[in-house]
């Protein structure tokens, strides 16, 4: 029976040029990684859509890949490190041409995306669309494996999600009037509502193990520090910090509720604010010399999004050693910082990761 199945799978492969999941001898403890989110997790999906929110040019990618991949960093992102720790290859962008292999997972994240469809609408792959892509993948897996085996595969997989920061930053970097119509609590409620609905939809498709990180001091990124008038003391943009704090509390509450109500639902929550607090107090302990200013950009704190000279401002500054900087550009951290955060997400203690760390999710 097993030989017949291998023959059938091989036949399907040769007939359709699609590498069918069952044509591979997946081990019993094999676990895939599926990724949803924004530029913090985008490995290059935006390379394939009509948008200016891209990082497919120098100096992005200069440290590790030695060429720009579309990642908003000098090197690897958090999902890249998580995949490495889980003994998986780099998880590819969903829109990458020719990518039809999902046995190790796939990445749907899009730079600039929000939980709200209105955030950068028309220029990103919003969360709702990312979910629709995942449903297509799940459908393909069910067709190839059968319902029971596909459900088993999807239930063992890990789902990394990081989205919402653009929803909170955009109103202050554009001419938005959203807060004339909604209170901060109402606005956060809409973001959390869309996010939790997406989580529930993934759960219905089979997802059981979810990984998150909170936003911490989102208002302290160089982009927002540069918006504070006369900011010579490194002050943070407190209105965004307030939204981030509301978001973090609401997300934790929502996850705790889903853990009770949804069958076998488990989550890991990296408390980024704990790491950022220690980092700010003692950068040298983490191997950084600069934690306020970006390596690449222009203006105060290099907080103008000009890195690479492709987004309206052609002139920009670039540091000589990104490993000394926590932030690589105005909104995104360096590869070194991504690695430190990924390590904490992977094997941090309960006060850092909540009920589970990600390592526990990948263990048989």
Residue 63: C-alpha distances to residues 1, 67, 363 (Å): 49, 8, 31
Quick one: which of 83, 135, 101, 106 has its CA closest to 24? 101
Contact between residue 115 and residue 195 where contact means Cβ atoms under 8 Å apart: yes
Quick one: which of 299, 307, 295, 328 has its CA closest to 52? 307
Q: What is the pLDDT of residue 259?
A: 97
DSSP secondary-structure letter at 290?
B
Q: Which two tokens stand for residue 248?
A: 């973090």
Q: What is the pLDDT of residue 87?
A: 96
| CB within 8 Å of 19: residues ≥ 6 apart | 13, 100, 101
Contact between residue 187 and residue 294 where contact means Cβ atoms under 8 Å apart: no
Q: What percentage of the chain carries pLDDT values higher than 70?
A: 92
**Mean of the pLDDT values across residues 155-162?**
98
Select the CATH number that applies to the domain covering 33-284+334-361 from these four: 1.20.1660, 3.40.630, 3.40.50, 3.30.565: 3.40.50
**Mean of the pLDDT values across residues 100-125?**
95
Quick one: which of 326, 228, 329, 226 has its CA closest to 278? 326
**Mean of the pLDDT values across residues 8-18?**
37
Query: What H or E segment, with its residue span, contains residue 340?
Result: helix 335-347
Q: What is the pLDDT of residue 2?
A: 38
Secondary structure (DSSP) of 211-229: EEE--SSGGGSHHHHTTST
The residue assigned the tokens 């978001």 is: 247
Residue 57 exposed, middle or buried by CB count within 10 Å (0-12, 13-18, 19+): middle
Q: Tell me which residues are annotated as active site.
A: 39, 329, 332
Domain ranges for the chain: 33-284+334-361
Q: What is the pLDDT of residue 5?
A: 40
Q: What is the pLDDT of residue 175?
A: 87
Could you give the CA distance from residue 353 to residue 364 in angstroms, rounded to a whole number? 19
Dihedral of CA 334/335/339/340: which sign? negative
Contact between residue 78 and residue 107 where contact means Cβ atoms under 8 Å apart: no
pLDDT greater than 50 at residue 117: yes
pLDDT greater than 70 at residue 27: no
**Mean of the pLDDT values across residues 144-172?**
96
> Where is pLDDT greater, at 6 or 252?
252
Q: What is the pLDDT of residue 26?
A: 52
Least-confidence region, from 16-25, 248-257, 280-289: 16-25
Could you give the CA distance from residue 146 to residue 43 in angstroms, rounded to a whole number? 30
**Mean of the pLDDT values across residues 190-213?**
98
pLDDT greater than 80 at residue 362: yes
Q: What is the pLDDT of residue 99?
A: 65
pLDDT greater than 50 at residue 21: no
Secondary structure (DSSP) of 45-95: GGGGSS-S----STTTTTTTTSS--S-SSSS--HHHHHHHHTT--PPPBTT
């Amino acid at each position: 029976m097993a030989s017949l199945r291998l023959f059938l799978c091989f036949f399907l492969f040769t007939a359709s040029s699609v590498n069918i999941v069952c044509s591979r001898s997946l081990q019993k403890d094999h676990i895939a990684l599926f990724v949803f989110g924004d530029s913090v997790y985008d490995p290059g999906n935006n390379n394939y859509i009509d948008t200016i929110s891209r990082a497919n040019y120098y100096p992005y990618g200069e440290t590790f890949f030695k060429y720009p991949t579309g990642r908003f960093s000098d090197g690897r992102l958090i999902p890249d490190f998580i995949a490495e720790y889980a003994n998986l290859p780099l998880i590819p962008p969903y829109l990458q041409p020719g990518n039809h292999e999902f046995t190790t997972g796939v990445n749907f994240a899009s730079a600039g995306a929000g939980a709200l469809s209105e955030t950068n609408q028309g220029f990103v792959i919003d969360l709702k669309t990312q979910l629709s892509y995942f449903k297509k993948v799940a459908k393909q897996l069910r067709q190839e494996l059968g319902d029971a085996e596909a459900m088993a595969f999807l239930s063992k997989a890990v789902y990394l999600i990081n989205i919402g920061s653009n929803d909170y930053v955009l109103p202050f970097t554009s001419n938005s009037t959203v807060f004339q119509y909604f209170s901060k609590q109402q606005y956060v409620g809409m973001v959390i509502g869309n996010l939790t609905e997406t989580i529930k939809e993934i759960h219905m498709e089979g997802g059981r193990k979810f990984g998150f990180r909170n936003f911490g001091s989102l208002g302290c990124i160089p982009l927002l520090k540069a918006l504070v008038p006369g900011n010579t003391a490194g002050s943070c943009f407190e209105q965004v910090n307030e939204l981030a704090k509301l978001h973090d509390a609401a997300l934790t509450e929502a996850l705790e509720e889903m853990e009770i109500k949804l069958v076998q639902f488990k989550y890991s929550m990296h408390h980024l604010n704990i790491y950022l607090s220690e980092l700010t107090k003692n950068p040298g302990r983490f191997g950084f010399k600069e934690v306020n200013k970006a390596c690449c950009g222009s203006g105060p704190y290099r907080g103008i999004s000009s890195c690479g000279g492709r987004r309206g401002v052609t002139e920009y500054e670039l540091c000589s050693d990104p490993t000394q900087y926590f932030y690589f550009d105005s909104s995104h951290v360096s590869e070194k910082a991504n690695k430190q955060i990924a390590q904490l997400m992977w094997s941090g203690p309960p006060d850092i990761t909540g009920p589970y760390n990600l390592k526990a999710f990948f263990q048989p």
